[in-house]
Copies of this chain bind each other. A is one copy, B any other.
Amino acid sequence: MIDDVNRTAGRSYGQFCALARALDVVGDRWNLLIVRELLAGPMRFNELKSSLAGAASNLLTDRLRDLEGNGVIERQLGDVGVRYALTSWGTELREAMEALGRWGAPLVMKGRHGDVFRARWLVPALPGLLRGATASPPVELGFEVEGSLVALRIDEDGPRAEIQPDERPSTVLSADPETVVGLAAGALTIEDAVAAGRPQGDVDVLRRAFPPGRRWPSPRPWAG
């Protein structure tokens, strides 16, 4: 408790550059993963802690304070306790994070190597990886992964996802994380995913959401 002043966010790069300033705010370890969690909705401290296994509670506290002080997240004091939520400015990180996720998609194609998984992470990931997809009339479907349901809706405005929706879509694909992530990343076709999972409802709805022919924009030398 010696000096808690000037505890903003680690060390600044000291550069007059928008990217460097952004990294001063969200570049520290765990910060963008906290934002990813909150992109699916507000969370309690212990929810964050359990979802971000590996982050110590003190570190999580530090990061939440930093992000709050910088206007990225806010503490909501409800009658049930403290909830953390993105501010409107924090929500605008979605575009950058979706772009980073698309860039990293080839890395998840190389398989899961004992990594942990949370269905909540699909909420920003699915729309990000399906960026540009539109459908009219809209397509509504769901993925059931490890007991959690993620709803995906594609309409004229593009794709959106939601965790634990109020009503269950009539078409749901139950599958394991490898299948759903691989499908979203383009490593699997919808036929692969349907074969590997347990489809419920109209398989043609799934085919509309994941038409064939999606390809990586450029070859990946290390993909072998």
Chain A positions near chain B (C-beta within 8 angstroms): 13-25, 27, 29, 32-33, 36, 53-54, 71, 87-89, 92-93, 95-97, 99-108, 112, 114-118, 121, 124-125, 128-129, 177-178, 181, 185, 217-222
Measured between C-beta atoms, what is the minimum distance from A29 to chain B in Å? Answer: 7
| Chain B hits for A178, CB < 8 A | 16
How many identical chains are in the complex?
A: 2
User: Is the CB–CB distance between A99 and B95 below 8 Å?
Assistant: yes
* Minimum CB distance partner of A221 in chain B: B71
Q: Knowing A25-B107, A107-B21 are in contact, say whether A116-B221 is a contact too (CB < 8 A).
A: no
Instruction: Jot down 5 A-B pairs with beta carbons below 8 A, ordered by A.
Output: A16-B115, A18-B102, A95-B103, A96-B103, A99-B99
Given A15-B116, A16-B112, A17-B101, 4 further pairs, Cβ under 8 A: A16-B177, A19-B100, A23-B104, A27-B32
Among A13, A17, A23, A89: residue with most chain B CB under 10 A: A17
Cβ 8 A contact of A108, one of B16, B129, B219:
B16
Q: Knowing A92-B217, A104-B25, A220-B89 are in contact, say whether A33-B20 is a contact too (CB < 8 A).
A: yes
Cα of A82 to Cα of B214 in the assembled complex, Å? 38
| Chain B hits for A95, CB < 8 A | 99, 102-103
| Chain B hits for A54, CB < 8 A | 13-14
Cα of A192 to Cα of B114 in the assembled complex, Å? 56
